[in-house]
Amino acid sequence: MCGIVGYVGERKVEEVLIDGLKRLEYRGYDSCGLALASSEMEIYRKRAKGRIENLASAVSKNPPGLRNSGIAHTRWATHGEPNEDNAHPHSDCSGEIVVVHNGIIENFSQLKEELIAKEHVFSSQTDTEVIAHLIEEKLKEVSKSFGIKHNVLEPVFFEAFRRAVNLLKGSFALGAIWAKTPDMILSARMQSPLVIGAGENENFLSSDVSAFLKYTKKVYFVEDGEIVVLRRGGANFFDLKGKKKAKEISTINWDLSMAEKGGYRHFMLKEIHEQADSVENTMAGRLLPLEENKVFEEIGLKAELAAKISEVQIIACGTAFHAGLAGRYVFEKLGIKTSADLASEFENRAALLDKNTLVIAVSQSGETADTIHAVKMAKRNGNNVLAITNTLGSSITRESDYTFYTHCGPEIGVASTKAFLGQLTAFYMLALNLSKSKGLLKHENLSKYSQELLRLPSLIKDTLGLENKIEKLTEAFSSKEHYLFIARDISYPVALEGALKIKEISYVHAEGYAAGEMKHGPIAIIEQGMPVIAIATSSSQLDLIRGNMEEARARGAELIAVVDEESRKNVKAKHYLEVPLINELFSAAISVIPLQLFAYYIALQRKCDIDKPRNLAKSVTVR
């Protein structure tokens, strides 16, 4: 996944672009670059390996002077290793056409062969460079039929760009400029996120709104198959045939402070602390009054269709999958048969789904390629798909029949935290709505559960009070290389999530296991002093988890137990992390918080790059 930014307007173009890239660095950060056009009709291009800072210093060493427009890119490599030659923007043979791209051009090898046969010379291993040469080739074609006169340069470039885009197969969000048309940026979208920021006599393009939010909150969400012409005076939208399209403008309600660290050392810690508010936002206006199925009403799921839903099939990746697995337990405890599968392992199941199975796809970014692919398979099978996502206008919303936004605000840290709680909260509300509409839940129970849910934000705040204790506790564990997380039933997904958090930001080995599995193998790995973290909050399985904890302790494990005031009396551990008591159905949203904080402080002690862990990107837009 990569980030692209474009700007046309009166500000210092390179400053706007570099500032925008810094807000997109979480999308990928192994190399970056920018290209600027000027009324002298020449292109200024700078690229750098590594972080945006490297690019900024290259630009300041050789400042570009006055420029009209520009495009920029931060990369997470998919084709070609991360180096300057493979960094975007890429240019054609003349150096006058430059392109930035997020996505994968699936037919780039065939296009590259054809272009090489026409004597195009390539300087990188990327799929993106093909686009620049393709536009160059189309420019020759179009110029022959239109002629190149000063007053037709922009339409000629548009037509060449349009023809080139029509030949691309795969996913792309593009920005392109031509030296001869410095006041215009062309852009196009297919399956990769692209938004246009509409300013006063200036306009922006980006992979997401945080790159230009400080300048404007007015945005256009670009749809698949749309071409955008960006000038100072405005943005125009066209379909792939070149037919002009009307477009609705939206207003983003995030302010920039939400997208910046807000005084925390890392985005991840900020986002952990935002969870009380973000869960409140997820529930706002959707839980009460109970009599109306506010959630189904909002997403447009008709009551008669809801009543016909025979079972639920959840698909997702990573942390979103752990939320989906927790959702499965909630649905089943409320009487609804439910499966949860990794989206990347869904291939064989899609065609076997009963037509009345509701498929729920979970994705914070809404751009995870595996999840979107699984959604398409479910759609092909004739199933209704509901997307749970945090990203307005994301690709998954276009592929699904219904969308439930978690409204958590931007989640910048690669390690997902508040989005996880938002996904859990979404499942809680969906399960209550569905169970009620299928007549499986008495009104008094619905009311009891809803009142309990409304307590979540304050219980989250209370749980965050463990932070100092956890920070201190991690000092004794920061050198550990192996962790085991164990839990049962509705807490089992929390064990998986706790292990993933430590793995992805501290780079140490950690496994989450169903505690009932210990005797079937995992107990063999326990050595003296090995940290075993048990989620042992009040539940129908407390006696069983207590036994598993004893087995681990007897073999030398150093036990850390997540407990509540009730269960603490019934389990023995070396360290206790006591969280507020909440109904078992919703306990995952509380018991995960100490594990998020534990992972954060272990990573801090180990001096890891918490917001941008090695080898990871915020959203995996390739399969």
Q: How far is the CB of 77 from ligand AGP (least distance, A)?
A: 17
Output 404 or 449, the one with its CB closest to ligand AGP.
404
Please report whether residue 13 would count as binding ligand AGP according to CB under 6 A.
no
Q: Is residue 318 close enough to count as binding ligand AGP by CB under 6 A? A: yes
Span between the terminal Cα atoms of the chain, in Å: 11
CB of 193 to ligand AGP, least distance (A): 11
In angstroms, give the least distance from the CB of 618 to ligand AGP: 7
The three-point CA angle 296-299-303 to 5° equals 35
**Candidates 2, 32, 317, 608; catalytic one:** 2
Q: Which stretch binds ligand AGP (CB under 6 A): 9-17, 108-116, 318-326, 347-355?
A: 318-326
Greatest CA separation for the chain: 85
Site string for ligand AGP, 448-487 (x = CB under 6 A): ----------------------------------------
CA distance 278 to 408: 5
Q: What are residue 353's DSSP bridge partners?
A: none
319 binds ligand AGP (CB under 6 A): yes
Task: Using the minimum distance from each CB to ligand AGP, give the nearer residue, 25 or 504.
Answer: 504
596 binds ligand AGP (CB under 6 A): no
CB 135, CB 161: distance < 8 Å: yes
Q: Does 537 bind ligand AGP (CB under 6 A)?
A: no
Cα 161 to its chain centre, rounded Å, is 29
The 531-535 sheet, strands edge to edge:
509-514, 482-487, 531-535, 558-564, 575-579
Q: Which residue is nearest to ligand AGP (CB)?
A: 318
Q: Exactly one of 192, 416, 541, 596 binds ligand AGP (CB under 6 A); which one?
A: 416
Collapsed DSSP state (helix, strand, coil) of residue 223:
coil
Closer residue to ligand AGP (CB): 579 or 620: 620
Whether residue 32 lies in the annotated active site:
no
Q: H or E segment at 540?
A: none
Decide: is 415 part of the binding site for ligand AGP (CB under 6 A).
Answer: yes
Stretch that binds ligand AGP, among 216-224, 287-295, 312-320, 528-536 (CB under 6 A): 312-320
Asked if 619 is part of the footprint of ligand AGP (rule: CB under 6 A), the reply reads: yes
DSSP string, 367-414: --HHHHHHHHHHHHTT-EEEEEESSTT-HHHHHSSEEEE-------SS
620 forms part of the interface with ligand AGP (CB under 6 A) = yes
* CA atoms within 13 Å, Cβ hemisphere of 185: 36
In the complex, the smallest distance separating the C-beta of residue 425 from ligand AGP, rounded to whole angstroms, is 15
The DSSP call for residue 516 is G
Nearest-approach distance from CB 318 to ligand AGP, in angstroms: 2
CB within 8 A of 531, min separation 6: which ones?
477, 480, 482, 483, 484, 557, 558, 560
Q: Is residue 214 among the annotated active site residues? A: no
User: d(Cα 79, Cα 104) in Å, to the nearest integer?
Assistant: 8
Contact between 344 and ligand AGP per CB under 6 A: no
Per CB under 6 A, residues contacting ligand AGP are 317-320, 363-365, 368, 371, 414-416, 504, 619-620
Catalytic residue ranges: 2, 618
